[in-house]
Amino acid sequence: MSSGAVPHNPPRSAQTRTAAGRAAYLGALITLAFGLLIFCADPRGHAWDFHQFYAVGSLPADQTFDVDAQRAMEERLWREYRPMVEEFNFSPYLKPAYYRLVWVPLAKLDFWTAYRVWVALQVAAFLSAMTLLGKRYGLDSALVLLLPMCPYLLLSFTWGQDTGLLLLILALSLELSLRGREGWGGATLALGLFKWNTILLLPLLFLVQKRWRTVRGFAAVAVVEVLLSVWITGTAGVRDYFALATSPETSYWSYLMPSVRGVALAVGAPASLSWAVALGAIAVFLWRARGLDLEKSYAAGVSIGVFLAIHTMGYDLLLPVMAIVMLYDRLSVGWKAPLVVFYLSPMPYMAQKLTDMRFNGLAAALFALVVAIALSLQRGEQPIETAAEDESPKAIGAGAGSPA
């Protein structure tokens, strides 16, 4: 990140934010309607990942990370509930053991009932995250109207992933930290460790920046989660987890990951070199980003962190939407604006499909966005504008912005 400053785009007017607020409600309805159309048009994508979560909730605690038990249960559910997809694809469950406390109650419901409940929770979490971010930063109407076409949003919902929940946790962590409750912000961030591969860059960055209150809050909750996981599965479960995490089973679709490691694998780099490239990029990022303020740290950690993560899939690309909202005044001008539109549009996903996966369109879109975000976070830049800084008593359709 260079030190040269770029002209700062002035904050949007209160009238624009109010119009965007009305559009947000329309956009939410369009999102649900468009997602329903996709859901009905292609049932093969339904519950692609949720069947894995449901399987873990159906297994005894001591078999949570037993690869043979996972495979057998997943295949049984696949054959019973997803007969429209003939070929069974096994994807190992690698989320922390404490997270099965979510799946066990859901597994007591009928599979499709549990799936609908879970998707409804994800939709609610996503809309809550957008509302929270919108109150502080505003939601531009163009951005809201792009979201219904966003493939990462639809992938997350239809596959039964938990990216919407993680996005809400990140938004809450940011809000608490900006209100001066850094310890609670760190503790809230640790609640997202069920997807540790995508958020781990943030606590590492806070550690490098010596944000001790945030680090202590994060560490306290993380320790509780680790102890809870060991209590659930026993020490044998810990061994099973690391055995599974280092097994070839976890390398499925690695060369298609929209990340620096995925790109390295796609061009033929050996697995060891791909790890070295990813870890080296993380080290460079932490060094270059150590001087960022709190808001810029969240924006960078959430977006660039996904690209540098050791394991990233298409639905994870929903997380950088948070950085887009935070930095929209800077990303919606000049050459950066088309990159944001390209990123949120179906084009990267379609390019990948039309080339039979020979072109990693998602990685290209994420890399372009990361470059735009990195240049928007230069040290010479002014602080991020928020809706709370506007003199108008109205924020986006819902009242005043949250106090910093």
Please write the tens of the pLDDT for every residue from 162-217: 999 999 999 999 999 999 999 999 999 999 999 999 999 999 999 999 999 999 99
Among 37-41, 230-234, 242-246, 297-301, whose mean pLDDT is lowest? Answer: 37-41
DSSP 10: P
Residue-level pLDDT at 309: 87
pLDDT at 19 over 80: no
The answer to whether residue 42 is domain-embedded is yes
pLDDT digits 0-9 by tens, 115-135: 989 999 999 999 999 999 999
- The span from the CA of 314 to the CA of 349, in Å, is 9
User: What's the pLDDT band for 265 if we cut at 50, 70, 90?
Assistant: confident
Residue-level pLDDT at 9: 43
The answer to whether residue 388 is domain-embedded is no
Among positive and negative, which fits the CA dihedral 72, 77, 83, 89? Answer: negative
Q: What's the number of domains the chain is made of? A: 1
User: What's the pLDDT band for 384 if we cut at 50, 70, 90?
Assistant: low
Instruction: Mention every residue, 6+ apart, whose C-beta is less than 8 A from residue 79.
Output: 88
Closest CA to 162 of 122, 199, 212: 122
Closest CA to 59 of 110, 12, 124, 104: 104
pLDDT at 377 over 60: yes
The answer to whether residue 306 is domain-embedded is yes
pLDDT digits 0-9 by tens, 285-307: 999 888 899 999 999 999 999 99
The answer to whether residue 225 is domain-embedded is yes
Cα torsion for 125, 126, 132, 135, to the nearest 10°? -150
The answer to whether residue 56 is domain-embedded is yes
The answer to whether residue 117 is domain-embedded is yes
The answer to whether residue 398 is domain-embedded is no
Percent of the chain with pLDDT over 70: 79
Residue-level pLDDT at 41: 47
- The span from the CA of 258 to the CA of 298, in Å, is 20
| Range of the structural domain that residue 22 is part of | 14-382
- The span from the CA of 320 to the CA of 343, in Å, is 10
Write down the pTM of the prediction: 0.83
Among positive and negative, which fits the CA dihedral 204, 205, 211, 217? Answer: negative
Among 18-27, 89-98, 155-164, 352-361, whose mean pLDDT is lowest? Answer: 18-27
Helix (H, G, I), strand (E, B) or coil at 310: coil
Burial 216-231 (b: 16+ CB within 10 A, else e): ebbeebbeebeeebee
The answer to whether residue 86 is domain-embedded is yes
pLDDT at 151 over 90: no
Residue 277 burial (10 A CB sphere; 0-12, 13-18, 19+): middle
